[in-house]
């Protein structure tokens, strides 16, 4: 099954709208912006976030097709992604091959890009959030565990993927 541009646009619209609503509420409540300004901020943030996430999702599924997962249905692809995330080893040889390719691709991504991306971006966001929470608003302390958790998860995922690949190759 080929992941269409239409599906990617739908995904972009849904995630962008959800993020936009969250951002508008955050801008209105925490930052104390007027309702009109919060809505405009939410619309702009939602459009940007949705566009970026949709492009990433489209790229991910196109890369899966290049890895030979083109013959898989959408449900099977979700099972492959879930198997890489949870560590399940599929018994079906086609699913196992697709899961191994996805795990290798994710490990390559973590080594090539995510190592610096997560450490720098989430580390900087963590530091800036702590500074802002001390200076501006104690509500920002709620975001500190989020960034710390994302940073820890990325490092944990990078270290456990080789073990998952070994289990899939066995």
Instruction: Identify the burial level of 164 via C-beta atoms within 10 angstroms of its C-beta, where 0-12 means exposed, 13-18 middle and 19 or more buried.
Output: buried
Q: How far apart are CA 141 and CA 133, in angstroms?
A: 6
Burial 60-87 (b: 16+ CB within 10 A, else e): bbeebeebebeebeeebbebbbebbeee
* 58-113 per-position pLDDT tens digit: 766 666 555 555 577 778 878 888 888 887 888 888 888 888 888 888 888 777 76
| Contact criterion met (CB below 8 Å) for 51 and 20 | no
Strand ranges (DSSP E) for the chain? none
* 116-160 per-position pLDDT tens digit: 777 787 888 889 889 988 988 788 898 899 889 988 888 888 888
Q: Indicate yes or no: pTM above 0.75.
A: no
């Amino acid at each position: 099954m080929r992941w269409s541009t239409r599906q990617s646009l739908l995904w972009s619209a849904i995630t962008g709208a959800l993020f936009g609503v969250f951002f508008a509420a955050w801008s209105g409540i925490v930052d104390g912006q007027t309702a009109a300004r919060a809505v405009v901020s939410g619309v702009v943030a939602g459009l940007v976030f949705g566009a970026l996430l949709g492009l990433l999702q489209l790229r991910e599924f196109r890369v899966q097709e290049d890895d030979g997962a083109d013959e898989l249905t959408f449900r099977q692809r979700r099972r492959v992604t879930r198997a890489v995330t949870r560590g399940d080893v599929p018994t079906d040889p086609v699913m196992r091959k697709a899961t191994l390719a996805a795990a290798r691709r994710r490990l390559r991504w973590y080594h090539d890009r995510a190592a610096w991306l997560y450490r720098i971006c989430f580390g900087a966001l963590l530091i800036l959030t702590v500074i802002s929470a001390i200076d501006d608003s104690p509500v920002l302390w709620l975001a500190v565990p989020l960034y710390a958790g994302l940073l820890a998860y990325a490092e944990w995922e990078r270290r456990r993927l080789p073990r998952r690949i070994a289990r899939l190759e066995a």
